[in-house]
Amino acid sequence: MGLRIIKPGIADSIQDMGRYGFQQLGIPPGGVMDRIASTVANTLLGNKIDEPVLEMHFPAATILFETSMMIALTGADFGAEINGKEVLTNQAILVPAKSELRFTKHKKGSKVYLSVEEGFLTSQWLGSSSTSILLHKGGQEGRNLIKNDLLEFNNREDLEIDTLTHLPWRASMAEFYTDNLIAFMPGAEYPLLEKISQSGMVTNKFKISAHSNRMGYRLEGQALLLGNKKECLSSAVSFGTIQLLPNAQMIVLMADHQTTGGYPRIGHVASSSLPTLSQVSAGESIQFELITRDEAEVIYLQQQQNLQQLQNACNFRLQEYFKNE
């Protein structure tokens, strides 16, 4: 038993932390767009942090839980309701069997993550359950979810749940996101930018284009110009690489990026800022902040420490809660 897709969303898929070690074969890592939200979704339930989750965009799927389950929703706020009752993000929820989850309104963010206790039962490809739409591999037959798809649970036994219940603690997410301020480090071709373009990259705001997806976020704003134009050989790129396109606009490569690229690499988004960037919707604007590699490492390590503290706290609270039940 598991959950069934009653009505599909526009691009719902199973994702985990991605598949690594195959870029030399042209296979991108993929995985979740917002690693913080996915990690917290699993942490709230005591799961391993790399358990597969359901990544959804708005309008998101309508879901029927065919069996009782403990779940968590993190990331975007899409006005989630279960059986017509509002449910909260960043909090573990006990859901009775035959309950229906709907998302009623786009309030904030662009991707919501659904985790279930002990994870989804999925088949892996190259060590990962992540869906690769381009390669038609992983997840649910290598595609986005469709009507009547059944996602089975890994749990060992059915939970006896009669009433929809929020567990009495909630994860604080404020320290993980930066209000659309995106830290980046200079890329290999950053010195080739004209000085006015280097300055404009951090003083101006750039809008996320509607022509953005899991492969890359196209940005619209001030034209950025190279002082010395140079032919660039194709070289390795990664999640967060900022490239300058021939139209003088930028693209930030996202989770499903290609493995190599030939456009100038003028920057790289800091790992700590990728969750914030991932949650920016098309039409919204971001602003870049230039930082050093050392500063990026300090911020990232602090973020990881915060996640570890949250994991310790959740594990303790879960043990205490179910010991007293």
221 token code pair: 């704003």
Residue 154's pLDDT is what? 84
* One domain for residues 252 and 140: no
Rounded-to-integer distance, Cα 186 and Cα 290, Å: 7
Q: Is residue 317 part of a domain?
A: no
CB atoms within 10 A of CB 59: 17
Between strands 241-244 and 250-253, the pairing is antiparallel
Q: Is residue 315 part of a domain?
A: no
Rounded-to-integer distance, Cα 74 and Cα 131, Å: 19
* One domain for residues 159 and 16: yes
* One domain for residues 11 and 108: yes
305 token code pair: 């420490």
* Amino acid letter, 75: G
* One domain for residues 128 and 186: no
Rounded-to-integer distance, Cα 290 and Cα 135, Å: 35
* One domain for residues 185 and 167: no
Q: Is residue 32 part of a domain?
A: yes
- Report the Cα 117 to chain-centroid distance in Å: 19
Rounded-to-integer distance, Cα 82 and Cα 75, Å: 17
Between strands 260-261 and 265-269, the pairing is unpaired
* One domain for residues 266 and 207: yes
12 token code pair: 């719902």
Among residues 218, 213, 48, 32, the alpha carbon closest in space to that of 112 is found at 32
* One domain for residues 58 and 186: no
Residue 158's pLDDT is what? 66
Q: Which domain covers residue 264, as residue numbers? A: 181-291
* One domain for residues 17 and 74: yes
Q: Would you say the pTM of this structure is higher than 0.75?
A: yes
Q: Is residue 310 part of a domain?
A: no
| 171, 201, 217 - which closes a domain | 171
* One domain for residues 271 and 165: no
**Of all helices (H) and strands (E), which one includes residue 38?**
helix 35-43
* One domain for residues 212 and 151: no
Among residues 235, 253, 254, the alpha carbon closest in space to that of 244 is found at 253
* One domain for residues 50 and 105: yes
Give the three-state DSSP class for 277: helix
Residue 159's pLDDT is what? 73
* Amino acid letter, 148: N
CATH number for the domain spanning 213: value is 2.40.100.10
Task: Profile the chain (325 residues) by mean pLDDT over runs of 10 residues.
Answer: 93 96 90 98 96 97 96 98 97 97 97 96 92 92 96 78 94 92 96 96 97 96 87 84 96 94 94 98 97 97 96 94 79
Residue 262's pLDDT is what? 86
Residue that has been written with the tokens 């965009």 in this structure = 57
Residue 231's pLDDT is what? 66
Q: Is residue 322 part of a domain?
A: no
Residues sharing a CB contact under 8 Å with residue 118, sequence separation 6 or more, in sequence order: 45, 47, 51, 153, 154, 155, 156
268, 242 contact by CB (below 8 A): yes
Q: Is residue 304 part of a domain?
A: no
Among residues 56, 43, 58, 48, the alpha carbon closest in space to that of 176 is found at 43
Q: How many domains are there within the chain?
A: 2
Q: Is residue 135 part of a domain?
A: yes
Angle, helices 35-43/293-323, rounded to nearest 10 degrees = 20
* One domain for residues 159 and 196: no
| 152, 171, 190 - which closes a domain | 171
